[in-house]
Amino acid sequence: MKTLRSYVGGQWREARAGFAPLHDPCTEEVIAQASSDGVDFGAALEHAREVGGPALRALTFAERGELLLAASKALHACRDELIELSLRNSGTTRKDAKFDLDGATGTLSFYAYLGKELGDRRYLVDGEGVALGRSARFYGQHLLLPLTGAAVHINAFNFPAWGFAEKAACAWLAGVPVITKPATSTALVTERCIEILVEAKLLPAGALALIVGSTGDLLSRLGPQDAFGFTGSADTALRLRGLPNLLAKSVRVNIEADSLNAAVLGPDVSPGSETCNLFLREVEREMTQKTGQKCTAVRRVFIPKERMDEVQAALIERLSAVVTGNPADSSVTMGPLATAQQLADGVAGIARLAGDARIVHGSGLRADGVGATPGRGYFLAPTLLRADDAESTQNVHSHEVFGPVATLLPYDGSAAVAARLCARAEGTLVTSVYSDDDSWAASFVVDGGPWAGRIYLGSEKMAEQALGSGVALPQSLHGGPGRAGGGEELGGKHGLSLYLRRVALQGSRAMVGKLAD
């Protein structure tokens, strides 16, 4: 059995005790084990701060961009091998594994090109300078300087490659070294990604460290020049964001957490239209891609009340075509949940939703998977629920079931009511609305926008090029208010903000101007 290793202080370290198992979710076989027992977290942090940080800060944005491009290419060169690991450890279909891996290399490559655009600078100039005195001789200008500490990244199990890479791309481009910790259950892919980058010797010493297993006392060692990026459940986020040390030292923290994302069908969209087909296609995909284990997956589907039966029937027809099982079988289109715990939580979560809504497709229980040994594997077929009163369904608005599960909810067709109902989840990563009526969409955006990190406007005009509401593109902000964590990642240059400190310069125009040149 493989034992995963941490990479700290420029060395690979294999633990001797404290192991947690990693499973093949199709067979439940233990395929690897991971532990960070024996890692000196203080030394790991010092190495990143003292060796990796100065080396990265000595490079220009363009040079850091070259590192990112090389990293993207190195991972892409091992794509097939990484896909195989992903199939084994996450049980995903090949298509879902590619989604994770191509997301990783695509985001690294996007930030590589941004580095090229930012050019031969080591820090950024923020906005325009401004006269501060009676004349322009006394002058002010903001600069954005890289933090001199390290970035600690903790990621969720569902994107073992993309989760690591999207955070690392932003930190490295800003000039900050990375200590990354994947979720233990799917760490096989992340560990191999780090191995590939280390073997390729692309990054300066100290720019990258990996912790498999627990982070020990690492978080309590973070200081004012470090940053902490977390992706995972709201419960874990709540525990970690309040660590006394993070509060006392004003450590920069970014949280990406749960989200009860919504899809809203506009009242103008007629059955059979291109926009209606886009809506149905995307709701089905968002429910089933990666077995619904996506932070951006659609959980609540709002439909004009007179259309409930027709939309329900159309979605059930699509969901009925999904084949749940072991992706090794070529007929399978959706894999298992990642872990036994995820399956138990999924089943319990559906039972909770069923207190407010009724199941109209699927059983909400574990099923045997096609191509899998009966009784084995963490399989849950797509499950659609329906509630006939969207107002009184508190669980549907507050409980995230992290699987192929969504609930249909009626509304009266008004944008204001749809926005208010979407807001019942107290913050989403993405809300998608499907309408060809510009003024209806504009009303929704004004009322619903403050409650969403991203609003995806599905319409006939973009249908042909639509990538899907669940894709976190590096050009656009990823993160959401309230229960979604309140964080901001990606979004082009905004993605560097966590790692750059804004400093206001005040001085002579000549001196300030030179620094901002």
Using CB under 6 A, which of the segments 227-235, 311-319, 437-445, 456-464 binds ligand NAP? 227-235
Give the residue nearest to ligand NAP (CB): 232
Task: For residues 516 and 505, give the distance between their C-alpha atoms in angstroms, rounded to a whole number.
Answer: 9
- Given 25, 103, 206, 232, the residue binding ligand NAP (CB under 6 A): 232
Out of 26, 295, 400, 488, the active site residue is 295
232/382 with CB nearer ligand NAP: 232
A 10 A CB-CB count for 517 gives 7
Residue 432 binds ligand NAP, judged by CB under 6 A: no
Q: Supply 193's token pair.
A: 């990604």
Out of 166, 191, 256, 489, the active site residue is 256
The site that binds ligand NAP (CB under 6 A) totals a number of residues, namely: 26
275/407 with CB nearer ligand NAP: 407
295 is catalytic: yes
- Given 225, 236, 333, 443, the residue binding ligand NAP (CB under 6 A): 236
- Given 158, 254, 393, 431, the residue binding ligand NAP (CB under 6 A): 158
Task: For residues 495 and 118, give the distance between their C-alpha atoms in angstroms, rounded to a whole number.
Answer: 14
A 10 A CB-CB count for 121 gives 12
A 10 A CB-CB count for 320 gives 11
- Given 93, 107, 184, 428, the residue binding ligand NAP (CB under 6 A): 184
Sign of CA dihedral 445, 447, 448, 452: positive
- How near is the Cβ of 387 to ligand NAP at its closest, in Å? 21
Residues 58-87 that bind ligand NAP (CB under 6 A): none
CB 349 within 8 A of CB 365: no
Residue 289 binds ligand NAP, judged by CB under 6 A: no
Q: CA 297: distance to chain centroid?
A: 11
- How near is the Cβ of 159 to ligand NAP at its closest, in Å? 6
Residue 489's nearest CA partner among 225, 171, 187 is 171
- Given 7, 139, 228, 402, the residue binding ligand NAP (CB under 6 A): 402
Fill in the per-residue mask, 244 to 273: x = in contact with ligand NAP (CB under 6 A), - = not in contact: ------------xxxx--------------
Task: For residues 359 and 408, give the distance between their C-alpha atoms in angstroms, rounded to a whole number.
Answer: 10
- Given 101, 183, 359, 490, the residue binding ligand NAP (CB under 6 A): 183
- Given 19, 157, 379, 411, the residue binding ligand NAP (CB under 6 A): 157
Q: CA 401: distance to chain centroid?
A: 16
- Given 27, 35, 231, 393, the residue binding ligand NAP (CB under 6 A): 231
50/426 with CB nearer ligand NAP: 426
- Given 141, 190, 215, 326, the residue binding ligand NAP (CB under 6 A): 215
CB 161 within 8 A of CB 104: yes
256 is catalytic: yes
Q: In degrees to the nearest 10, what's the CA dihedral of 386, 389, 392, 398?
A: 40
Q: Supply 160's token pair.
A: 């073992």
Strand ordering across the sheet containing 138-146? 124-131, 138-146, 500-508
Burial 420-437 (b: 16+ CB within 10 A, else e): bbbbbbebbbbbbbbbbb
DSSP strand pairing (383-386 vs 405-411): parallel
Residue 421 binds ligand NAP, judged by CB under 6 A: no
Residues 292-321 that bind ligand NAP (CB under 6 A): 295
**Catalytically active residues, by annotation:** 256, 295
List contacts with ligand NAP (CB under 6 A). 154-158, 181, 183-185, 215, 231-233, 236, 239-240, 256-259, 295, 400, 402, 429, 484-485
